[in-house]
Copies of this chain bind each other. A is one copy, B any other.
Amino acid sequence: MSKEFIYTEIADGIASQIRNGVLKPGDKLPSVRMMCQEHRVSMNTAKRVFLELESQSLVESKPQSGYFVSRLMSVKLPLPEVSRPSLMANNDEPDELISRVYENMGKKGITFFSIGIPSGDLLPQAKLKKEIIQATRELKDGGTEYEELHGNLKLRRMIAVRSLQWGGNLNENDLVTTNGGMNALSFCLMALGKPGDTIAIESPCYPGILQLANGLGLNVLELPTHPTTGIEIEALRKVIPQINLCLLIPNFNSPLGSCMPDDHKKEIVQLLSEHHIPLIEDDVYGDLYFGSSRPKCCKSFDEDGNVLYCSSISKTLAPGYRVGWIAPGKYKKKIMKLKLLHSTSSISIVNEAVANFLKSGRYEKHLQQMRRALQNNYQNYVQTIADYFPEGTKISRPQGGLSLWIEFDKKIRTTELYDLAIKQNISIAPGRMFTLQDQFENCMRLCIGLPWTEETRLCLQQVGNLAKKL
């Protein structure tokens, strides 16, 4: 029997006991050592069993104490439905709603469940300050002169090295830096789309992408998307003749938190490549996985340079630094030209500082802490939602990232909930923001990147109480 088979067999056995209720939430599992003896397997195999169960959110580890059945398992909130957007391109931008939600941004005293970035408390701000000061001192010109057009070489090397983690094998010349992740996406859309072209995206989708595509005159085709496995391949296959472009967030998509299985990624990359439809991949959340390993990217399966891989540090390290990048495959020349024309150069100081931070190994440690904090937040959110939100509330099962997607009963309109909540200094993101058509009126996105404090818990309870009133 292969090693591969042994550990999945053991894991499946335990998983079914958990699902059948033989093992209850909070129950302690046997130690790794005991597992070795019981099943006559190596330490490595025993460890892989727990990693597997952990990646399925079935068990959780407690430092110094071992593994326990996840408390999440006591929560029986149903999953939202697969989205069923209209398969006509729509452009009904919820401008007024987005303005209403954004106009309060940055105001003191408001609890922002509505924003999609990590709270400052989760970021290594003191260490980053030191890196900026160091970089400014060490850069010969103090960062006053233009960088080379590709962007900071050290940073590109570090990104290339890190690509091995997600099954990529980039080198420094495959990469071009940008002023953050949205800037990367904007270059890709400008390079490859022309007004009247049609772009396929997930539904629900991050509002910035909808507005960007719409603003560039593209027809936006929202496709059915599963809350845990992402865009539906069959739906994509059907619209292939209509589309010129595709943009996906395969890993921990905001707002759903879905993660496309590897075989879906591979199939979609092949499908689009065959039809010469460029795939723009947004991987800004990829490093924020809750399981035991980093998911692969579509770029991992890219054989002919048809995937434009975009990412940044805005969701993991420092949103305000605007450090992002593209691995544009065979479209590099177009992207380089757009960078030259629209922004001339990236900003040396911040790019150099981030490169040094990555090189020091601190980024990896920071990510470990951050992932733990987010996963913990997620479990606390779920428990609070189960306790205080109206009956019938459905929630997504993010396997990473910063977002949780809530689907209420049809009667509860989240634009109304927004108005009630903001009066209590709580900001949420109504579902209508995440589409260009008439759907998701009973949904909302919650950011789980806030520090989990008593205040956060009370505010979340309050959202539930307000929803019950509606």
A residues lining the B interface (CB < 8 Å): 102, 105-106, 117, 120, 123, 125-126, 128-129, 132-133, 136-137, 141-149, 179-180, 182-183, 186, 194-195, 208, 211-212, 215, 217, 314, 317-322, 337-338, 340-350
Given contacts A320-B348, A347-B320, A347-B350, contact A126 B142 (CB under 8 A): yes
Given contacts A195-B194, A347-B322, contact A186 B342 (CB under 8 A): yes
| Assembly CA distance A429 to B115 (angstroms) | 47
Contact of A345 among B143, B149, B320 (CB under 8 A): B320
Contact of A343 among B126, B129, B179, B217 (CB under 8 A): B179
- Report whether A142 and B117 are in contact in the complex, using a CB–CB cutoff of 8 Å: no
- Report whether B132 and A143 are in contact in the complex, using a CB–CB cutoff of 8 Å: yes
- Report whether A132 and B141 are in contact in the complex, using a CB–CB cutoff of 8 Å: no
27 A–B contact pairs at CB < 8 A?
Answer: A105-B148, A106-B146, A106-B148, A117-B146, A120-B141, A129-B136, A132-B349, A144-B317, A144-B321, A145-B319, A146-B319, A147-B320, A179-B179, A179-B322, A180-B345, A182-B342, A183-B342, A183-B343, A186-B341, A211-B337, A212-B341, A320-B345, A322-B344, A322-B347, A342-B342, A343-B343, A347-B347
Contact of A125 among B142, B146, B337 (CB under 8 A): B142
Query: From A350, which residue of chain B is reached at the shortest CB distance?
Result: B347
| Assembly CA distance A136 to B183 (angstroms) | 24
Query: A346 — which chain B residues lie within 8 A by C-beta?
Result: 322
| Assembly CA distance A314 to B143 (angstroms) | 12
Query: A350 — which chain B residues lie within 8 A by C-beta?
Result: 143, 347, 349-350
- Report whether B341 and A208 are in contact in the complex, using a CB–CB cutoff of 8 Å: yes
Query: A211 — which chain B residues lie within 8 A by C-beta?
Result: 337, 341
| Assembly CA distance A148 to B107 (angstroms) | 10
The 6 residue pairs across chains A and B that have the minimum distance between CB atoms: A144-B318, A129-B142, A186-B342, A132-B136, A212-B341, A125-B142
Query: A215 — which chain B residues lie within 8 A by C-beta?
Result: 337-338, 341
Query: A217 — which chain B residues lie within 8 A by C-beta?
Result: 194-195
Query: From A212, which residue of chain B is reached at the shortest CB distance?
Result: B341
Query: A345 — which chain B residues lie within 8 A by C-beta?
Result: 180, 319-320, 322
Query: A182 — which chain B residues lie within 8 A by C-beta?
Result: 341-344
- Report whether B180 and A321 are in contact in the complex, using a CB–CB cutoff of 8 Å: no
Query: A144 — which chain B residues lie within 8 A by C-beta?
Result: 120, 123, 125, 128, 317-321
| Assembly CA distance A195 to B148 (angstroms) | 30
A336: min CB distance to chain B, Å:
10
4 other contacts beyond A126-B142, A141-B320, A322-B347, with CB at 8 A cut-off? A105-B148, A129-B142, A195-B195, A343-B343
- Report whether A343 and B319 are in contact in the complex, using a CB–CB cutoff of 8 Å: no
| Assembly CA distance A106 to B141 (angstroms) | 13
| Assembly CA distance A319 to B346 (angstroms) | 10
- Report whether B319 and A347 are in contact in the complex, using a CB–CB cutoff of 8 Å: no
